[in-house]
Amino acid sequence: MKNTKFILPALLLVAALVPLLTGNQLRLATELMTYVVLALSWNLIGGFTGYATFGNVAFFGIGAYTAAMFATKGLPLVSGVLAGSVLAGLFAVLVGLPVLRLKGHYFSIATLGVAEAIRSLVPNLNFLGGPNGLTVNTTFPDEGWYLVTLILAIGAVILVTYVRRGKIGFALRSIRDDETGAQSMGINVTYYKVLAFTLSAVLAGVVGGVYSGFLAFIDAPTVFQGEVTVTMLVMALLGGTDTIFGPVIGAIVLKIIMEYLWTNFQNLHGLFLGVVIILIVLFIPKGILPSISALWRNLKKNAGLPKRGVGHA
Amino acid sequence: MLTLENIDMGYGDTKILWDVSLNVKKGEIVALIGSNGAGKTTLMYTVSGLYAPWKGRIRWEGNDITKTRAHERIHYGLALVPQGRRLFPSMTVEQNLHMGALHRKFKQQDLAKELNHVYDLFPRLQEREKQLAGKLSGGEQQMLAIGRALMANPKMLLIDEMSLGLAPVLVDNIIISLKEIAKEGITVFLVEQDVEIALEISQRAYVLEHGKIALEGSSAWLYDHPQVKEAYLGM
* Rounded alpha-carbon distances, angstroms, from residue A215 to A32, A142, A178, A255, A265: 14, 10, 42, 18, 25
Interface contact A187-B89, CB threshold 8 A: no
| CA A207/CA B87 separation, integer angstroms | 37
Interface contact A181-B87, CB threshold 8 A: yes
pLDDT at A1 over 70: no
Q: Which residues of A touch B100 (CB under 8 A)?
A: 185
CB of A218 closer than 8 Å to CB of A136: yes
Interface contact B71-A167, CB threshold 8 A: no
ipTM for the predicted complex: 0.90
Residue A305 pLDDT: 56
| CA A29/CA A216 separation, integer angstroms | 17
Query: What share of chain A has pLDDT > 90, as a percent?
Result: 70
| CA A135/CA A225 separation, integer angstroms | 18
pLDDT tens for A249-283 read 999 999 999 888 888 888 887 888 788 888 888 98
CB of A77 closer than 8 Å to CB of A67: yes
Buried b (16+ CB within 10 A) or exposed e, B117-145: ebbebbebbeebeeebbeebeebbbbbbb
Which has the higher per-residue pLDDT, A123 or B231?
A: A123
Tell me the DSSP string of A180-245. Answer: HHHHHTT--HHHHHHHHHHHHHHHHHHHHHHHHHHHSEE-HHHHT-HHHHHHHHHHHHHH-TTSSS
Taking the whole predicted model, whether its pTM rises above 0.95 is answered as no
E strand or H helix that includes residue B192: strand B187-192
Among B75, B91, B100, select the one facing A173 at the smallest CB separation: B91
CB of B97 closer than 8 Å to CB of B141: no
Helices (H) and strands (E) in chain B, counts: 10, 10
Strands B29-33 and B187-192: parallel
| CA B8/CA B55 separation, integer angstroms | 5
* Rounded alpha-carbon distances, angstroms, from residue B74 to A101, B97, B100, B149, B191: 22, 15, 10, 9, 18
A253/chain B closest Cα distance in angstroms:
26
Lowest mean pLDDT among A93-102, A294-303, B56-65, B75-84: A294-303
Q: Which of B88, B97, B111 to mutate to test the interface with A (most CBs of A within 10 A)?
A: B88
3-class DSSP state for residue A130? helix
- Name the β-bridge partners of B74: none
pLDDT tens for A114-139 read 999 999 999 999 999 999 999 998 88
| CA A150/CA A147 separation, integer angstroms | 5
Q: Which residues of B touch A173 (CB under 8 A)?
A: 88, 90-91
Q: Which residues of A touch B153 (CB under 8 A)?
A: none
Cα torsion A38, A39, A45, A50 to 10°: value is 160
Interface contact A177-B48, CB threshold 8 A: no
Interface contact A181-B82, CB threshold 8 A: yes
B90/chain A closest Cα distance in angstroms:
7
Residue ranges of alpha helices (H) inside chain B are 40-48, 70-73, 93-100, 108-121, 123-127, 138-150, 168-183, 195-201, 219-224, 226-228
User: On the CB side of A211, how many CA atoms lie within 13 Å of its CA?
Assistant: 33
Residues of A with CB under 8 A from a CB of B: 167, 170-171, 173-174, 176-178, 180-189, 242
Interface contact B80-A184, CB threshold 8 A: yes
Residue B234 pLDDT: 75
Residue B168 pLDDT: 87
Residue A118 pLDDT: 96
Interface contact A170-B86, CB threshold 8 A: no
Interface contact B90-A181, CB threshold 8 A: no
